[in-house]
Amino acid sequence: MENKLLTIRPMKTDEVEIAVEWAAQEGWNPGLNDAACYAKADPNGFLIGLLDEEPIATISAIRYDSTFGFIGFYIVKPEYRGKGYGIQLWNAAMKSLTGCNVGLDGVVEQQANYQKSGFQLAYSNLRYEGVAGGDVQPDAAVVPLSDVPLDAIEAYDQPFFPVQRTDFLKTWINQPHSHALGIMENDQLAGYGVIRQCRTGYKIGPLYADNAQLAERLFLALKSRADSSQPVFLDVPEVNRAAVALAEKYGMTVSFGTARMYTQNAPALPLNRLFGVTSFEIG
């Protein structure tokens, strides 16, 4: 007997938590406020697949503008996998991003499957795990990001992402259970980072800085804001050797990896200044 067609529709705002909860069950360790933040990126960007009114599959297809989108949260409930339901939702998500260069962070073992849908590898990301906390000397150059004008933060953030993401950015840097810090040099913002509480421990992301020394000072300041009994995670582009060296200098070890892939040419991001990825789920 053929499988039924899924009913596919955009999630309501409160349903985004379903995708986040399933991500937690998959071991992806989402942040405590990820659902609210991600919904700001594109209120219609989360799709749900229902079978007889039962949610069985989720995916995010964030359309940032007419040129760029990002796929994430592609999850099918275990008992429904291998039955053709996931591909129905995948096709709907990709159709919603028609005309866009689409990015994703896929687990490495799925790379060949994504290539069949037109994705090509740009580089790999590595998730490093270490210990939070630590004592740091006061650093006058490290300031609460709330002390920095939003237009300066937006201007600094813009090169690190293919398109403007103002609504998401404002929510991300002001979310509960987090700390957002900037580092100043010559009265200009020279880097910023966010550490947020997750289901397990804390994640630092993004971590952007003009050079490795500034990144290290920000990293230590962010890490010191978290409970020293908890783990801390940092997702770094493997091609940024200084970012890899920073993580390993502080005893962090690789726990996970993804393949950053795009359907068109990889955006020209300043990966040498990108020391921590914002999110594997929405870019």
Q: What is the pLDDT of residue 282?
A: 87
Give the other-Cβ count within 10 Å of 143's Cβ.
16
Whether residue 168 contacts residue 60, with contact meaning beta carbons closer than 8 Å, is answered with no
Topology given in CATH for the domain delimited by 7-122:
Aminopeptidase (3.40.630)
pTM (predicted TM-score):
0.94
Q: Measure the CA–CA gap between 119 and 61, rounded to whole angstroms.
A: 15
Distance in angstroms (rounded) separating the CA atoms of residues 193 and 204: 7
Structure tokens, 12: 């309501």
Domain boundaries, the chain: 7-122, 127-276
* pLDDT band per the 50, 70, 90 thresholds, residue 124: very high
Question: What pLDDT, on the 0 to 100 scale, is given for residue 3?
Answer: 66
User: What fold does the segment set 127-276 form as a domain?
Assistant: Aminopeptidase (3.40.630)
Residues 77 and 57 sit within 8 Å (Cβ to Cβ): yes
Distance of CA 142 to the CA centre of its chain: 24
The rounded distance, in Å, linking the Cα atoms of 50 and 52 is 6
Please list the residues that pair with 184 across neighbouring strands: 189
User: Above pLDDT 90, what percent of the chain?
Assistant: 85
Q: Cβ distance 121 to 88 under 8 Å?
A: no
230-269 pLDDT, tens digit per residue, is 999 999 999 999 999 999 999 999 999 999 999 999 999 9
**Statement: residue 125 has pLDDT above 70:** yes
Rounded to the nearest integer, the mean pLDDT of the chain is 94
The yes-or-no verdict on residue 108 having pLDDT over 90 is no
Q: Do 7-122 and 127-276 come out as alike in CATH topology?
A: yes
| SS3 of 33-44 | CHHHHHHHHCCC
Average pLDDT over residues 81-108: 94
Pairwise CA distance, residues 236 & 277, whole Å = 6
Interval 4-40: pLDDT, tens:
788 999 998 888 899 999 999 998 999 999 988 998 8
- Calpha distance 157→150 (Å, rounded): 10
Residue 1 above 80 pLDDT?
no
Confidence of residue 92 (pLDDT cuts 50, 70, 90): very high
The per-residue pLDDT for range 191-216, each reduced to its tens digit, is 999 999 999 999 999 999 999 999 99
